[in-house]
Structure 1
């Protein structure tokens, strides 16, 4: 073999060895240098770094915020109404060394199921202490922050920081929807019946008040009419008495006219009486004598 060929092989071996001894850390990554499986160094700053080929192994982890989408979870709040909760989390590797010790070679794929179990456990614990109305309202922001804080403390053992937890939806299970709708309809019907009963009661009170007012008004009117009628009769009797005192003959004549009117006032009246009866005295002569 010629020297030139040998030199070429040596050059290629040197270049290959140099390439094997150099590794690059991106600004979005954190790198761990392992020697015989043990962590020897942690590299966070981006740039070119050297390692010992064959002996050193470089493990790189994504330093960005990562998603964690969980499957729908059925929880039971304090009031016993079961809910299907769909939540998600955002997390990042905060301590690469601790993360390596916790999940080993499985890396992120091995961490996700453990994080999901932590998140589900905290969802059940926090949401199980409140009523379903709170979970379904805007006040659940406080609950999400509480879930995040408790999950964060549990995830520290993995070298992971839980950045955020959010509940995308919280709904009743499909099998419970019809029963819930029936309860809602029954409740609305009960409220409607209560309103109708209260309206009828108010109407009865108004009618009773109106009837009492009518009776009182009519009674007062009748009383006033009796008083006025009595006063009128008194005035009439006074006038008649005064007329009688002034001209007794005129009063006798007036009473006779009243007797004629009462006796002959009907449309089919008949009287049988002698012509010389005193009843016709005022009809026999001009003077009435």
Structure 2
């Protein structure tokens, strides 16, 4: 009975010690086995692992790709046009033992603080070696690659692998925005003035060409009308001449009737003639023959 009383606590302690000696490594993490703060084992493969209870402890680190938002910084490119750059990085812990030695108990927070300083320094150096136009153009992809490559070597000393660096935003400082907008507005107004001037010049050319065309068309039409009128007058005169040659008396009678029609039309002014005027010869003649 006494043996059972002593064995039960021992058994419980043995079971607790056995359970505390076991730990599971998740597939999304890596683990370090520490003994008095010194790394004695690295567990990178997922599954069941062992440690010495009470003497050894397990520290776990995320094995996935992590994200770091770099603190915004102000850079000065070659053209002295200051820019505020906002970037982020993708990284992972590639060597957990080296990572532990580099950051100690500070863990990921300390590592990200040091990596942030590295990325800020490399970003300022790379972007300071080019103009602002290069930063704002499609060439920024090559600049981001340069920043990443420059940070890889320094990050490796922390046990980190820098996978990618991206510039999220590249803006002007607030104090420069108004001046930049004024300059852009003045440039657009100048371009608009130039466009209006070119448009007015083109309109004047079109208008002058149209006026010239109108003058040429009117002149040509008048010339053709004068030719047609002259031909018609010639033809009329030829008809009159032929008619007069065939019957001069009838031609004279026709002309007198035309003159009567025009002279005696209503609304005309008064016509005062002497009684013996030749104008009414055909009216006074009983036979319709001029006397």
Q: Is the 8 A contact 1:34 1:59 kept in 2?
A: no
CA displacement, residues 19-78 of structure 1 (integer Å, 9 cap, x when unaligned) = 9x968574423326577x87666554561134995xxx8683624344433221123456
Pair 95,49 (structure 1): closer, same or farther in 2 beyond 3 Å: same
> Could you tell me which residue of structure 2 aligns to residue 123 of structure 1?
123
Higher mean C-alpha deviation, range 159-168 or range 190-199? 190-199
For 2:224 and 2:258, locate their aligned partners in 1 and report how far apart those are by CA, in whole Å: 29
Q: Is the 8 A contact 2:32 2:39 kept in 1?
A: no
Q: In the TM superposition, what is the alpha-carbon distance from 1:259 to its structure 2 partner?
A: 6.2
Q: Give the TM-score taking structure 2 as reference length.
A: 0.70
* Structure 1: tracts of 5 or more residues without a match: none
Pair 259,143 (structure 1): closer, same or farther in 2 beyond 3 Å: same
SS at match of 2:276: coil
SS at match of 1:158: coil
Q: In the TM superposition, what is the alpha-carbon distance from 1:225 to its structure 2 partner?
A: 0.9
Pair 276,95 (structure 1): closer, same or farther in 2 beyond 3 Å: same
Alignment of 1:102-117 (within 5 A): 102-103=102-103, 107-117=107-117
Q: Confirm whether residue 60 of structure 1 aligns to residue 59 of structure 2.
A: yes
Q: Confirm whether residue 151 of structure 1 aligns to residue 151 of structure 2.
A: yes
For 1:61 and 1:74, locate their aligned partners in 2 and report how far apart those are by CA, in whole Å: 36
2:50 is aligned, of 48, 51, 55, to: 48
Q: Is the 8 A contact 1:73 1:84 kept in 2?
A: yes
Q: Give the TM-score taking structure 1 as reference length.
A: 0.71
Pair 43,259 (structure 1): closer, same or farther in 2 beyond 3 Å: closer
Q: Is the 8 A contact 1:29 1:62 kept in 2?
A: yes
Pair 62,136 (structure 1): closer, same or farther in 2 beyond 3 Å: farther
> Could you tell me which residue of structure 1 aligns to residue 32 of structure 2?
31
Higher mean C-alpha deviation, range 222-231 or range 212-221? 212-221
Q: In the TM superposition, what is the alpha-carbon distance from 1:241 to its structure 2 partner?
A: 1.2
SS at match of 1:163: strand
Q: Is the 8 A contact 2:82 2:173 kept in 1?
A: yes
Pair 126,269 (structure 1): closer, same or farther in 2 beyond 3 Å: farther
CA displacement, residues 228-281 of structure 1 (integer Å, 9 cap, x when unaligned) = 11111111111111122112333444555566678778833554x643344554
For 1:29 and 1:160, locate their aligned partners in 2 and report how far apart those are by CA, in whole Å: 13
Q: Confirm whether residue 288 of structure 1 aligns to residue 287 of structure 2.
A: no
Corresponding residue pairs, total: 271
Q: In the TM superposition, what is the alpha-carbon distance from 1:118 to its structure 2 partner?
A: 1.4
For 1:162 and 1:59, locate their aligned partners in 2 and report how far apart those are by CA, in whole Å: 26
Pair 159,244 (structure 1): closer, same or farther in 2 beyond 3 Å: same
Q: Is the 8 A contact 1:77 1:132 kept in 2?
A: no
* Structure 2: tracts of 5 or more residues without a match: none
Q: Is the 8 A contact 2:25 2:43 kept in 1?
A: no
For 2:43 and 2:249, locate their aligned partners in 1 and report how far apart those are by CA, in whole Å: 146
